[in-house]
Structure 1
Amino acid sequence: MIEPSIALYGEAFNRVSALLDELLQKAHVRYAMLVDRKGFVLAHREALWAAKPPALDSIATLIAGNAAATSALAKLLGERRFNELVHQGERVGLYVEEVATEALLVVIFDETAPIGRVKLMRKKASRKSPNFSRRSDRSRCPIQPRR
């Protein structure tokens, strides 16, 4: 049986959930979630005004596959990684950012939330809540690989 690569519970889960809530409120996005690189949803939030969410587990699986492909492309082009990925259609956009070795932040937004605001609010939220910062001090980061 495949299991998530990250254990997120207790206070760590609460802090991540608070950050996702802040992104929803300040960036005016539809959905925000944290997924692992295997495609498991670790935490998610949706705006009260948002339509019924799509199948988040399917989105998470596809995001993980897309992140793996993007990582391979970065290496082929001589980069260690690409830090973020943006897909934008006429009405809906998708923003994905690596926030820990094994975790991806996924934000789904509509035309009322410009991508610049999404990125800015994400950075502001991470300053207040360093949970999503890539850190060398693994002991203080609540996003930990499963053992």
Structure 2
Amino acid sequence: MIEPSLALYGDAFERVDRHLEELLGATGVRYCLLVDRKGFVLSHKEALWAPRPPALDSVATLVASNAAATAALANMLGERTFSEQIHQGENGTLYVESVGDQALLTLIFDASVPLGRVKVQTKKIITQVAAILAELQDAPPVQFSEDFSKGASALLDDLLG
């Protein structure tokens, strides 16, 4: 089974979540997602006024796939990487910015939001989010004791019969 490349939890998750909330407020975008490069949503925020979001798991998978294809194009053109992607339609825009080698910050917004504001505010937040993700690389993996596993199994048996 494919698993996310990052385990974003606890204090690190809360700090990333606050940065996404800040970005949402500073830019006026509808949706803000932090996606790993395998296509898993690590964190997301949406504006209170935003309409029902698209299927975020599908968006994450397609964004990660597109980033992989874009990386291959960059390589073919002699670039190490292209750090951002912009997909602009008549009514909406999808902006994707790399957060180091681990994740992609994805923003979805309508035509009323200036792209320049989104880019400036995103660059401010990316440095902070990248630092949090870098901390996670050095963190030891979460270890559950045998008692936890037995307790969880017993709870599931009780719930599911």
| TM value normalised by structure 1 | 0.88
Q: Deviation of residue 11 (structure 1)?
A: 1.1
Trace 1:1-147 onto structure 2 (pairs within 5 A). Answer: 1-126=1-126, 130-132=128-130, 141-144=134-137
Distance 1:46 1:143 in 2: 25
The one-character-per-residue Cα deviations of 1:18-66 (angstroms, maximum 9, x if unpaired) are: 1110111010000001001110000000000000000000000000100
Describe the shift of the 1:126–1:97 C-alpha distance in structure 2 as closer, same or farther (beyond 3 A): closer
Q: Deviation of residue 123 (structure 1)?
A: 2.3
Deviates more, 1:118-127 or 1:53-62: 118-127
Q: CA RMSD in A?
A: 2.0
Secondary structure, counterpart of 1:13 in structure 2:
helix
The one-character-per-residue Cα deviations of 1:105-134 (angstroms, maximum 9, x if unpaired) are: 00001111111010111123346xx2235x
Larger Rg: 2
Kept after mapping to 2: 8 A contact 1:88/1:94:
yes
Gaps of 5+ in 1: none
Kept after mapping to 2: 8 A contact 1:30/1:109:
yes
- The corresponding residue for 2:149 is none
Identity of aligned residues (%): 59
Distance 1:38 1:65 in 2: 8
Q: Higher relative contact order at CA 8 Å, sep ≥6: structure 1 or structure 2?
A: 1
Question: Deviating runs (4+, > 4 A) in structure 1?
Answer: none
Secondary structure, counterpart of 2:135 in structure 1:
coil
Q: Deviation of residue 88 (structure 1)?
A: 0.5
